Amino acid sequence: MFHRESGYYKTTYAADMELFPLPITKAAIVVICVLFFGLFPALMTDYYISVINLCAIAVVGALGLNILVGYTGQISVGHAAFMSVGAYTAANLATRWDLPFWITLPAGGFMAMGVGLIVGLPSLRVKGLYLAIATLAAQFIIEWVINHTPAISGGVQASIEVPRPSLAGWDMDTQTEMYYFLMFFTALAVIGTLNLARSRIGRAFIAIRDQDIAAEIIGINVYRYKLLAFGLSSFYAGVAGVMYTYYLGIANYEMFQLPISIDYLAMIIIGGLGSVLGTIFGAVFITLLPVVVRVFMETVGVYFVEGVYLAQVIAQMRLILFGGLIILFLVVEPEGLNKLWQNIRNYFRVWPFSH
C-alpha cells in the first residue's frame, strides 16, 4: 500500500493478487496498526478522536456501497435507508432485551441484508437509471415505514436512546474507548472487502460490472451474484448504521435520509470506484469536508459574513463545495483520489528517472 517497488517483477496472476506483495508490506501494516491502535488514541485530544471515529463509520458504509456500485456496477441511491434498518434493529434489540453489541451488531447487519435482498429484486429485471430510481423509492419507503411504525421507531419523529456498548462489564463511554470499538470493526470490514475483491465472488462481481450479458454467457449466474452484491452491500450498511447508533447513543431516522445516501455515493466517486484504498480516502475526505469548511468560515469567513448569517452560509458553502468537488472529480479525474495516489506511487517507483 505504502511501499515503493523498484520495478515490475510479477510473473503470475497469483503474485499480482497477493495482499502482501513484498515483505515490507507486512512491516507497513504493523506500522499502521501501531499508529492507529497505539499512538493516535494516546496522543490525540477527544475532538480529533471523535473526527476519526466518524471517518471509521463512514469507511464501513462506503465500503459496502463500493461493493455494489464500484465492483458490481449496480446503482443504489438508498444506502442510508439500509443503515437505518441496521441502526433501528440494534437499537430495539439493545433497549428491549438488553442484548450486548456482539449480538445486536451482526443482527443489524443481517436485518439490513434481508431488506437489501428484497430491494435488490428489481435489479433482476431493470438496471441503470431504472435501478437508481427503484432504490430511491426504497429510500423513501423504508424511511416512511420506520418513521410511522411506533413499534420500530417509538413514534413519529421520535428517537431511541441506546446504551453504550459494553464487553464483559467494561462500558465503552469515552471517545477513546469508542475509537477502539469502531476501529476494530472498520479493520474487519477493510480486510473483508480486500479479500472479497480477489475471491471468485469478487471476480464474478467485476465481470458483471464490465458486461453483464457477456458474464452470463461465460457461465456466471448473474441474478445470484447481483442479489449477493445487494445483500453484502446492505450488510455493510447495516453494520455501519449500528456503529453510528452506538457512537451517537441514539437512533433517529433523520440521521439516515436521502442526503446521507448521496454523501456515500460522493465518497466512492471521489475516492475511486472499485478500490478499497480509494474508498478510505473518499470516506475520510467527505467526512472532513464539513469540518474544514466550518473551521475555515469561523476563522476567515467571519470577516466577510455577518455573524447571524454565518451558520446559513456555512451550510450553503458546504453544498456548493460538495457538488463542485463531485463534478470536478467526475470531469477531471474519474478514477478519483485512488488514481492520484497511484500516480504519485508510479512516479516514485522509478524515481529519480522519468520512466
| Complex with other proteins: residue 247 or 281, whichever CB lies closer | 281
Should residue 334 be labelled a site residue for other proteins when binding is judged by CB under 8 A?
A: yes
Q: Which of 42, 151, 308, 331 binds other proteins (CB under 8 A)?
A: 331
Q: Determine, following the binding rule CB under 8 A, whether residue 151 of this chain makes contact with other proteins.
A: no
Taking CB under 8 A as the rule, does residue 296 contact other proteins?
no
Quick one: which segment of 84-92, 103-111, 283-291, 313-321 binds other proteins (CB under 8 A)? 313-321
Q: Does 231 bind other proteins (CB under 8 A)?
A: no
d(CA 314, CA 266): 19
322 binds other proteins (CB under 8 A): yes
Exactly one of 94, 134, 146, 189 binds other proteins (CB under 8 A); that residue is 134
Element holding 160 (H helix, E strand): strand 160-161
| C-alpha closest to that of 229 among 256, 206, 263 | 206
Q: Is 300 in the site for other proteins (CB under 8 A)?
A: no
Provide, rounded to whole angstroms, the least separation between the CB of residue 81 and other proteins.
Answer: 12
Beta carbon of residue 259, minimum distance to other proteins (angstroms, whole number): 9
- The identity of residue 245, as a single letter, is T
Positions 74 through 133 that interact with other proteins (CB under 8 A): 75, 77, 121-122, 125-126, 128-130, 132-133
222 makes contact with other proteins (CB under 8 A): no
Query: Are 53 and 176 within 8 A, CB to CB?
Result: no
| CA-to-CA dists, residue 253 to 115, 149, 171, 244, angstroms | 16, 12, 25, 12
Minimum CB separation of residue 238 from other proteins in Å reads 21
- How far apart CA 107 and CA 89 sit, in angstroms, is 7
Q: Is 125 helix (H, G, I), strand (E, B) or coil?
A: coil
CB nearer other proteins, residue 225 or residue 246? 225
Asked whether position 137 contacts other proteins by CB under 8 A, the answer is: yes
> Minimum Å distance from CB 137 to other proteins?
4
Contacts with 175 (C-beta within 8 Å, 6 or more apart), sequence order: 46, 49, 50, 53
Query: Measured from the CB of residue 144, what is the shortest distance to other proteins in angstroms?
Result: 5
**DSSP 8-state class, residue 124:** G
308 binds other proteins (CB under 8 A): no
Residue written as cell 499480482?
Answer: 16
Alpha-carbon separation of residue 187 from 33, 269, 329 (angstroms): 10, 21, 27
Using CA atoms, how far residue 170 sits from 166, 174, 186, 249, in Å, is 5, 11, 20, 16
Shortest distance, position 118 Cβ to other proteins, whole Å: 11
Cα angle: 159, vertex 160, 162; to 5 degrees: 140
Distance CA 77, CA 257 (A): 11
Name residues contacting other proteins, limited to 188-217 (CB under 8 A).
211, 213-214
Q: 211 and 66 in contact (C-beta within 8 Å)?
A: no
Residue 226 C-alpha cell reads as 447481483
38 binds other proteins (CB under 8 A): no
Give the number of residues in contact with other proteins, rule: CB under 8 A: 47
Q: Does 312 bind other proteins (CB under 8 A)?
A: yes
Max intra-chain CA distance, the chain: 66
Q: How far is the CB of 262 from other proteins (least distance, A)?
A: 6
Query: Interface residues with other proteins (CB under 8 A)?
Result: 69, 73, 75, 77, 121-122, 125-126, 128-130, 132-134, 136-137, 140-141, 144, 147-148, 156, 211, 213-214, 262, 265-266, 269, 273, 312-313, 315-320, 322-327, 330-331, 334
